[in-house]
Structure 1
Amino acid sequence: MIKKNEILSLGKKSLLLSFGVCLFAASTLNAAPEKLRVVGSWSSLSLYKEYEKPYWKKGFKKEFPKTKVRLSSLGQVKLKGAAVYRQLSKGVFDVVSTVGGYVISDSQTLAGLDFPAIANDIQTAKKVVDAYSPILDEALEKDFNSKLISVVPYPSQVLFCKEKISSLADLKGKKVRASGWTVAEFLDGVGATGITMSYSEVPQSLQRGVIDCAVTGSLSGYSSGWGEVSEYLYPLPIGGWAFVITAMNLDTWNSFSKDEQKKLVSSVNTQIVSPAWEKSNYETNEGEKCLTNRDCSYGKANTMKLVEVKEADKELSRKVLIENVIPKWVEKVPADVVEKWNNTVGKVVDITAK
């Protein structure tokens, strides 16, 4: 005969076993998806070739061996502007890496990350990103049903000109290819005319005199032949840093368990974010060398003339940013976004948006 205390003991064991099964079921309810459709950044540049592609093809697979990854690049999907993030929001893609400036038409909050000449060195740029990332995360969820995974910079976006310039004052009356509306506003503020055109059209437009100057990263410009049709390089980052924002569809993100989410972000930080930030600083300096007839580790150097950045131009840039660019942005975003910017990026750079 089974005694009463034995019945109670068996009941407790059964309850504990059931509880353990429930915990196991809960821990495995959210698990890495069977497949991911990933869109990386521009395949011709080092961010994709050296970090994104190796990570999604090897690093991610090592962490999540049961998940199949289908990787493409911005050039392959051929979706302009914010279209690629719209497809991300619908779940057509699971992960997308693209330049924040490309998608601000659908989310003006993102423009607060990368104003022209707000960060003249990579150390300040990193502080800006760290401060603004929580606001970016909120905006991505609201506007694109997605989760912020990472932010990394391309080399600082500097000025290529065909005719001689010695300062920003020399841009007055010139037509300059801008990388986005904030850069166009900045150019208007110094008396130039911001022109919108595709990246691939720039070298021919410079050669034919359709535009006088253009803005892009130093090494990007070298790799794309801009140094062969331009004569003067002005390394003031009036185009910001062209931050590449990587986001994951929110439904896909939520399919990972909490532990898997942490593992994913940690591996991205280790294998993409940290080395890419270091490489961006190197490429900014190396691009200048390759463009201005110094030792170039990427090939034959161009013969552009490097124009020394004037302290007066740094002051002018700040003035134009505060008086021309930021007020236009304030008109485009809700008041709470402005308040959040002031409490984050504003404190880093000592500017109050209003």
Structure 2
Amino acid sequence: MQAADAASAAGAGTTAAAPYRLRIVGGLAGISQYVRQEEPFWTKELSRLSAGRFQAEIVPFDRAGVPGAEMLRLLQLGVVPFGTTLMSSFTAQYPEYTAPDLAGLNPDLATLKTTLAAFRPYLEKALREQHGVEALAIYVYPAQVVFCKKPLRTLAELTGRRVRVSSASQADFVGALGGVPVLTSFSQIVPSLTAGNTECAITGTMSGNMLGLPALTTHVHTLPVTWGLAVFGANQAAWAALPPDLRTLLKRELPRLEAAIWAESERETADGLACNRGAPTCNAGTKGSMVVVPVSPQDERSRQEILESTVLPRWVQRCGARCAQVWNQTIGPVRGLQAAPAK
């Protein structure tokens, strides 16, 4: 493992320290979080902030040949010293870590912030003690919403429709509405809709726009089914081996990067919807002519009922009694929702 390149001599008779270089594995390629925030921070800002002493190169994990589900293990082993891992990729092995973004739990970004704040101390401690990973920042992606080919007035009308989902809790949510969840990777959303394998898809408001969904679908519902959280973490040994002033700089600047990414996600959620409907305020996307379906009182009731009766109990079933305990000590009290132990 080489977290950084050693300093080298430059010129005859003089020695000048070469920049200390970090290798970073970032988030999903091609989307705003990476292009407008992560990549510029590591490739430009770090050097500027350190007057050229520290530099970094970054590659998105999905172009680095790193399977998302393996990232936590690769961080633990030090194969990837510094990397971004999608929290949804923990579903199979570590379902307890997916608690803050269960389907239907966070109807807006402000709620997600309070949910995560309640859970974060547990998550950071668990990653450090059980995996040897230092969680340095937690990023958020824009709202994941429902796009459909046919008219949709309420979520209840998903009954019988085949809906692309990307996680177990999204599948639970869609199933409880009477829909048929179809687990599909991001890259297969368009082929699946085109071939008729799915009639609707849950994805980001702007990522859906960039995929060209306004040409394939007619309606987009505004309820955030989930958001999408990602942890930027460091292998503990790699973190400890950094020059102390670099650790200090990152401890100061990474929370700022995190805040910028959260602000961008909020802007992009709104901009994605504006672009999908073809509003004059559309900024970063392509103008479509979709019908944007607002959240009705019935939708809000459905969200709460499905969270309580289906999503949370099924998460506890997959996760075990310890997860009910973790929930009841962290998120439960701030959301007024207790988890019953798995039966």
Q: TM-score, normalised by structure 2?
A: 0.87
Q: Distance in 2 between matches of 1:148 and 1:80?
A: 19
Higher relative contact order (CA 8 A, sep 6+): 1
Aligned to 1:273: 258
Aligned to 2:85: 98
Question: Which stretch has the larger CA shift, 166-175 or 34-43?
Answer: 34-43
Report if aligned partners of 1:110, 1:139 keep a CA contact under 8 Å in 2: no
Q: Helix, strand or coil: the match of 2:267?
A: helix
Pairwise CA distance, 1:141:
2.9
Q: Distance in 2 between matches of 1:116 and 1:290?
A: 25
Is residue 94 of structure 2 the alignment partner of residue 131 of structure 1? Answer: no
Q: Helix, strand or coil: the match of 2:188?
A: helix
Q: Give the one of 183, 191, 210 matched to 2:170.
A: 183
2:275 maps to amino acid: C
Q: Distance in 2 between matches of 1:316 and 1:87?
A: 39
Question: Which stretch has the larger CA shift, 131-140 or 214-223?
Answer: 131-140
CA-based RMSD of the aligned residues comes to: 2.0
2:77 maps to amino acid: K
Is residue 45 of structure 2 the alignment partner of residue 45 of structure 1? Answer: no
Report if aligned partners of 2:272, 2:285 keep a CA contact under 8 Å in 1: no
Q: Distance in 1 between matches of 2:234 and 2:153?
A: 44
Q: Distance in 2 between matches of 1:123 and 1:60?
A: 29
Q: Distance in 1 between matches of 2:129 and 2:312?
A: 22
Report if aligned partners of 1:107, 1:139 keep a CA contact under 8 Å in 2: no
Q: Helix, strand or coil: the match of 1:112?
A: helix
Question: Which stretch has the larger CA shift, 143-152 or 280-289?
Answer: 143-152
Pairwise CA distance, 1:222:
0.5
Is residue 209 of structure 2 the alignment partner of residue 196 of structure 1? Answer: no
Report if aligned partners of 2:54, 2:246 keep a CA contact under 8 Å in 1: no
Based on CA coordinates, which of the two structures has the bigger radius of gyration? 1
Report if aligned partners of 1:232, 1:306 keep a CA contact under 8 Å in 2: yes
Report if aligned partners of 2:161, 2:199 keep a CA contact under 8 Å in 1: yes
Pairwise CA distance, 1:142:
4.8
Is residue 68 of structure 2 the alignment partner of residue 85 of structure 1? Answer: no
Pairwise CA distance, 1:337:
3.9
Aligned to 1:226: 213
Report if aligned partners of 1:140, 1:146 keep a CA contact under 8 Å in 2: yes
Aligned to 1:353: 339
5+ unaligned residues in a row in structure 2: which ranges? 1-18
Pairwise CA distance, 1:83:
1.6
Report if aligned partners of 2:209, 2:276 keep a CA contact under 8 Å in 1: yes
Q: Give the one of 296, 300, 306 matched to 1:320.
A: 306
Report if aligned partners of 1:153, 1:241 keep a CA contact under 8 Å in 2: yes
Q: Distance in 1 between matches of 2:314 and 2:122?
A: 19
Q: Helix, strand or coil: the match of 2:38?
A: helix
Aligned to 1:30: none
Q: Distance in 2 between matches of 1:299 and 1:216?
A: 15
Pairwise CA distance, 1:275:
1.3
Q: Distance in 2 between matches of 1:228 and 1:104?
A: 32
Rate the CA distance shift 1:227–1:78 in 2: closer, same or farther, 3 A: farther
Q: Helix, strand or coil: the match of 2:287?
A: coil
Q: Distance in 1 between matches of 2:263 and 2:68?
A: 27
Q: Distance in 2 between matches of 1:314 and 1:136?
A: 29
Q: Give the one of 241, 244, 248 matched to 2:234.
A: 248
- % identity of equivalent residues: 27
Any runs of at least 4 consecutive aligned residues in structure 1 with deviations exceeding 6 A, and if so which? none
Q: Distance in 2 between matches of 1:156 and 1:235?
A: 9
Rate the CA distance shift 1:67–1:337 in 2: closer, same or farther, 3 A: farther
Alignment map for 1:94-173 (pairs within 5 Å): 94-173=81-160
Aligned to 1:18: none
Q: Helix, strand or coil: the match of 1:331?
A: helix
Pairwise CA distance, 1:192:
1.1
1:304 maps to amino acid: M
Q: Helix, strand or coil: the match of 1:42?
A: coil
1:208 maps to amino acid: A
Report if aligned partners of 2:209, 2:285 keep a CA contact under 8 Å in 1: no
Q: Distance in 2 between matches of 1:90 and 1:176?
A: 37
Rate the CA distance shift 1:305–1:142 in 2: closer, same or farther, 3 A: same
Pairwise CA distance, 1:195:
0.7
Q: TM-score, normalised by structure 1?
A: 0.84
Give the aligned length: 320
Q: Distance in 2 between matches of 1:241 and 1:266?
A: 26
Pairwise CA distance, 1:208:
2.5
